[in-house]
Amino acid sequence: MVIKMDCIEELNDNLVEFFDRFSSWENSVIQQGSITVAGAHAIEKLGHYGSMSMKDLSKALGVTTGTTTITVDRLEKGGYAVRDRPENDRRSYIIRLTEKGEEAFRIHHSHHMSLAGEIASLLSEDDVQNFVAILKKINSEI
């Protein structure tokens, strides 16, 4: 299937605008707290999926283990997360949220849910279902 260049250009323009607006929104929400954007993303993953290894957290975030180590160091220093060593593998760490991290997750997640609700309120139920299907398709490929 060949898509016309003007359609791709319009898609690009709208993606860039959406990304800019979403990034601005997320930065304004995060600036209210004491964590970074990367830290908020890690807290979001740990809050949704529970404790996980550094390798699994890196994979979930789509970044290197080195980048994740820096993020987890900051979360640990801020009291949001801790590293536990599993009994069966003393070479790795399991990262888990502390009570403070759980609370940060609840607050940050509620902001995400509010934004999702605002977006959904602009669309019909069918549009929301189609939008979710499109996002799932895109997310599975990139």
- Summarised one tens digit per residue, pLDDT across range 21-39 is 988 888 887 776 678 889 9
User: Do 50 and 115 lie in a common domain?
Assistant: yes
User: Do 115 and 62 lie in a common domain?
Assistant: yes
Number of folded domains in the chain?
A: 2
| Domain encompassing residue 27 | 1-32
Question: How far is Cα 77 from Cα 39, in angstroms, rounded to an integer?
Answer: 11
Question: How far is Cα 87 from Cα 65, in angstroms, rounded to an integer?
Answer: 21
pLDDT at residue number 27:
81
Kindly report the number of other CB atoms within 10 A of residue 83's CB atom.
15
* Contact in structure between 44 and 81 (CB atoms under 8 Å): no
pLDDT at residue number 68:
95
pLDDT at residue number 60:
94
User: Do 11 and 61 lie in a common domain?
Assistant: no
pLDDT at residue number 47:
97
pLDDT at residue number 35:
87
pTM: 0.81
User: Do 44 and 101 lie in a common domain?
Assistant: yes
User: Do 10 and 48 lie in a common domain?
Assistant: no
Question: How far is Cα 115 from Cα 90, in angstroms, rounded to an integer?
Answer: 41
pLDDT at residue number 32:
64
* Contact in structure between 93 and 74 (CB atoms under 8 Å): no
For residue 45, the domain's CATH number is 1.10.10.10
Question: How far is Cα 19 from Cα 13, in angstroms, rounded to an integer?
Answer: 10
User: Do 15 and 57 lie in a common domain?
Assistant: no
pLDDT at residue number 29:
76
User: Do 135 and 68 lie in a common domain?
Assistant: yes
User: Do 65 and 105 lie in a common domain?
Assistant: yes
Low-confidence ranges of the chain (pLDDT < 50): none
